[in-house]
Structure 1
Amino acid sequence: MYADRLFKALERNEPARGQLLIAAPGMRSSEFARSVVLILEHNAEMTFGVVLTQRSEVAVFNVLPEWLPLVTKPQALYIGGPLNQQSVLGLGMTQPGVTFDEDDVLSKIAPRLALVDLRAEPSELEDRLAGMRLFAGYAEWAPGQLEEEIADGDWYVAPALAQDVLTPGPADLWGDVMKRQPMPLPLFSTFPRSADAN
């Protein structure tokens, strides 16, 4: 597909913690069409991340009501990926100037972006977080699998911004992320989920 050629022709960033995987326009996998994945871990054994673009119909109030005051609207649970959707991960944007300690309940992913330890008391974090989202499940790649998919042109790798995690409900995160990439990617920011829908 031409989307494969598009991503292959661009200079490549290496996948790493705190980077985004942006699905190619017209990606063959319907599960990841127009998706943006935040990489939480990337090493020789595996790559692990959460999809930022799939909101569920489940209210946070019905799952983890104690975290509701810190969750940004829309206060829904997001689907982080196809694996282990019974587990929930928290991602938060910190307030300016917040630092990360080694034994902290906030684990730094990127500037002002943290993995939140959901065993903590939410009240401990009220002054440290500007907002957060909760994600059920995750996406995972076996050794070498993600590199193959990137080489095939399925994904473009780009740095994450903390506000990507807190995108408002009506916004199109995939389109917004594409718009801030080098040309010609902004030209594809309105590409539909399916080319048949165009």
Structure 2
Amino acid sequence: MSNAERPDEPGSGDEPRGVPRRRPPREYRPAAGMLLVATSELRDPQFRRTVVYLVAHGEEGSAGLVLNRRTETAVHSVLPAWAGHVAKPQAVYSGGPVQPSGAMCLGVSRGGYYPGDGSGLVRVAGRVVLVDLDSEPAIAAATLSGVRIFAGHAGWGEGQLATEIGEGAWFVVPGRDDDILTGPMVDLYFRALRRQGFPLAWEAYRPSEMERN
């Protein structure tokens, strides 16, 4: 053959025989119930390797809660009435840098139940609900499989989240109801990426040291 690249050699523009072609990851749009998974392009240490559950998204902005930032604060020390209804670990989670002194609560309703008006619950997506912490815990939690309490939240102004996604700071992937109550032994960042399939799943194996460089 001439000096031109052989069809099966790397650099020829074609995948070698027997190797599946890479497909670009499916692109999802942000919406309530979706996850924002931080990429290595996101340099803000507050959001490094975070998984954010979007509770609201619209033209005026977006709001979400970081699901994988547990604090050392026990729920019973700040909201004792809710302590018995919180999924393990029974700790407050850091939901984000906006209004860190405020509290928000997410719950997962039992299968087949959807909240009605006046129940202290507002549906977000699927079986995930926002819980009014001023409501009676025993009544609000009666139809829930568990709740998670967050200090602060993450927020974006008009067009800000779209800009960050366009810059490659976030992967937007579907959320699952059970992501909300993920246990302490589960790496939610790894799990959320790994279940996306090739090629996005490979990001789950990126060494954390590489992200610092």
Q: Which amino acid aligns with 1:172?
A: D
Pair 1:95-2:110 in alignment: yes
Pick from 197, 200, 206: which aligns with 1:182?
A: 197
Contact preservation (8 Å) 2:25, 2:200: no
Select 1:64's aligned residue among 73, 79, 82.
79
User: In terms of Rg, which structure is larger?
Assistant: 2
Q: Contact 1:26 / 1:193 at 8 angstroms: preserved in 2?
A: no
Q: How does 1:40-59 map to 2 (within 5 A)?
A: 40-59=55-74
Whole-Å separation in 2 of the counterparts to 1:26 and 1:45: 25
Q: TM-score, normalised by structure 2?
A: 0.84
Mapped contact 1:25–1:188 kept (Cα < 8 A) = no
Q: How far apart, CA to CA, are the structure 2 residues paired with 1:180 and 1:101?
A: 32
Give, in whole Å, the separation in 2 of the partners of 1:196 and 1:64. 36
CA deviations on 1:43-101 (whole Å, 9 max, x unpaired) are: 11111111111000000010101001110111000000011111100101111111222
Bigger relative contact order, structure 1 or 2, given CA contacts below 8 A and separation 6+?
1
Against the structure 1 CA distance between its residues 67 and 153, is the aligned structure 2 distance closer, same or farther, given a 3 Å change threshold?
A: same
Find the aligned partners of 2:134 and 2:80 in 1 and give their Cα distance: 13
The answer to whether the Cα contact below 8 Å between 1:18 and 1:39 also exists between their aligned partners in 2 is yes
SS at match of 1:158: strand
CA distance in 2, matches of 1:167, 1:108: 19
Q: What residue number does 1:85 align with?
A: 100
Q: 1:128 aligns with which of 129, 133, 143?
A: 143
Paired residues, number: 190
TM-score (norm 1): 0.90
- In 1: Cα distance, 2:211 partner to 2:164 partner: 23
Matched, 1:75 2:86: no
- Counterpart selection for 1:24 from 39, 46, 66: 39
Give the whole-Å Cα distance in 2 for the aligned partners of 1:197 and 1:51. 20
Cα deviation for residue 26 of structure 1 reads 5.3
* Cα distance in 2, alignment partners of residues 194 and 106 from structure 1: 41
Contact 2:40 2:211 in 1 (8 A): no
Specify every segment of 5 or more residues in structure 1 that has no aligned partner in the other structure, as ranges.
Answer: 1-8
Q: Aligned to 2:183, which of 168, 185, 189?
A: 168
- AA aligned to 1:182 is G
Deviating 4+ runs (over 4 angstroms)? none
Query: Identity over aligned residues, as a percent?
Result: 38
Aligned counterpart, 1:6: none
Contact 1:92–1:115 (CA under 8 A) maintained in structure 2: yes
Aligned to 2:152, the other structure's residue is in SS state strand
